[in-house]
Amino acid sequence: MASKKLFLRELKARYKQLYDAVQPIPYIRDRLYCVDRVFVEGGIEYLAETWMPLGSYHFVFRESHTKSYRRILIGEPGYGKSTLTLQYAYDWCNGVQKSYLKNVEILILLRLRQLTGVASIYRAIKRFILSSRCQISEQEIQSIISNSSSVLVILDGFDEYPDEDIIPKTDIMRIIHSEKFQETEVVLTTRYLPKGMSSDSQRLKLIGFDERARDEYIRKAVVGNDLVAANRIKRRLEENPILGDLCQVPLFFVMFAHMSHENKDFQTFKTVTSFFQYMIQCFHSHMKNKMDDPNVQTYHMYENDHHELNEVAFDGLSKPGQQLVWSRVELVTRLGKDFYDQYIRVGILVEEDVIDNVDVYDSPYAPNQVKIRFYHKVFCEWYAAHYLARFASRKPQSLTDVLRHMDPLDVQYCYRFACGLNPSAADSIIECVKQSEGGDNFATLCILEQGGRFDGILDTVKSLCANKIELKKEDNKLLQRSMVQLLEIASSNDVSRIELY
């Protein structure tokens, strides 16, 4: 009994550390928020015979909607999967009355990217949730969980899990495949559906921010009751048509809202690339303003010369299974300590404790190591796109080979950014994209990153329009708008044959 009380205190203390440290803009480190202050419900759908809207994140566990013990919560990059898990942790810790979690005795929340070499879930809990001074053993953790009235396990970020294919299976994979904790509620967040999932697993997906959610976030997290400031942000959104669609992605909207509120010289953007470029400049500008004058020249050099980081990012994304974390020693060696320190200070790179020692795989004595990741995978795609844009202009004949492991649907922003960064290389990249499943539709997004400069890719536009162009109601808003813009490009350039379905 005493062990369980201590265990619960440890869980709640750790989760409070996490949900009290939400950073809407990573370069402003002195401004951390409790998740409940900034969390806004975006759209959620669940799969019945078709995708149906779910009224609230509280309803994810409703019996009438979800009869399975396994719930797969799918979302594209930046759609708020991890933020939602922190809100669940907040609800559980604080006994929020309207939450399903008020009746859950034990909540286990694990970030899967941290679990390299950890086969046992009880070891993962001890190493990454309990404090280092806690004397509860792995055997006690197992006993407490086994004898609890109700347990909810949230596994965040399957697409970043490093041990998916380890043999024998890790506990995580056994849980996902319903071979362990068969009657325990499990929520898995991911960008894609894992292999071998039970057919009765409940599938849900995040669909982003609509206008109501954006208005609520502006009021709740940015301006409070200042209606003038709120209207200024919304007016800037209206002045940036490309952002109207992009800002259904919560990650981008949150950064847009905070930056447009704080920066009087906020610009107008025509492409996702130009917006992200401006955002990166804001990261560096904020830090430069805090630096002593003698440091500014060196700082400016590192901001603009990041060729090695580009290669690190591209190498990671182009590997089978991808590499999204690196050792600190490796990055300092490749990037140089001054460069590394700058990108850590800016917030583009983030340090995180993980276990990574293959010689002591799943050992309780494996030391925690500091590993490095990008603030968000989209930032990794930004720097990888610089490498891709340069490579495509120099060796277009080799593109198919170097991109063979880079699924456009998984790293869509890398392809789109590359086309925006180097329009002269866009045609070669788009030709590679078209070879993938659904590539014709995705190629549209890449074309539109040209920002009105279509001379070099009109042949590609004509080729796309020579086939059927399908607009489906289930397509996301950004893709629908992109297809309409493609038709406008074709029309303004006398592309005569278009079949619209």
* Gap between the Cα atoms of 90 and 93, Å rounded: 5
Q: Tell me what pLDDT residue 455 has.
A: 57
The b-or-e profile of 446-458 (16+ CB within 10 A means b, else e) is: bbbbbbeebeebb
Q: Tell me what pLDDT residue 313 has.
A: 98
Q: Tell me what pLDDT residue 281 has.
A: 86
Please tell me whether the peptide bond between 168 and the residue prior to it is cis, using omega within 30 degrees of 0: yes
Q: Is the dihedral of CA 168, 170, 174, 180 positive or negative?
A: positive
DSSP letter string, 101-135: GGG-SEEEEEEGGG-TT---HHHHHHHHTS-TT--
Q: Tell me what pLDDT residue 477 has.
A: 54
pTM of structure: 0.77
Query: What percent helix, strand, coil does the chain show, rounded to 5?
Result: 55, 10, 35
Cα angle 313, 431, 479 (rounded to 5 degrees) comes to 80
| Residue ranges of the chain with per-residue pLDDT less than 70 | 1-2, 27-30, 63-67, 241-242, 244-245, 264-266, 286-300, 353-368, 438, 451-501
* Gap between the Cα atoms of 300 and 303, Å rounded: 5
- Return the structure tokens found at 103: 């009746």
Residues 6+ apart with CB under 8 A from 349: 331, 340, 343, 372, 373, 374, 375
Phi, psi of 327 (to 5 degrees): -75, 150
Q: Tell me what pLDDT residue 453 has.
A: 58
Residue identified by tokens 């994979």 is 173
Q: Tell me what pLDDT residue 170 has.
A: 94
Q: Tell me what pLDDT residue 359 has.
A: 41
Q: Tell me what pLDDT residue 73 has.
A: 96
Q: Is the dihedral of CA 113, 116, 121, 124 positive or negative?
A: negative
Q: Tell me what pLDDT residue 481 has.
A: 58
* Gap between the Cα atoms of 377 and 389, Å rounded: 18
Q: Tell me what pLDDT residue 370 has.
A: 82
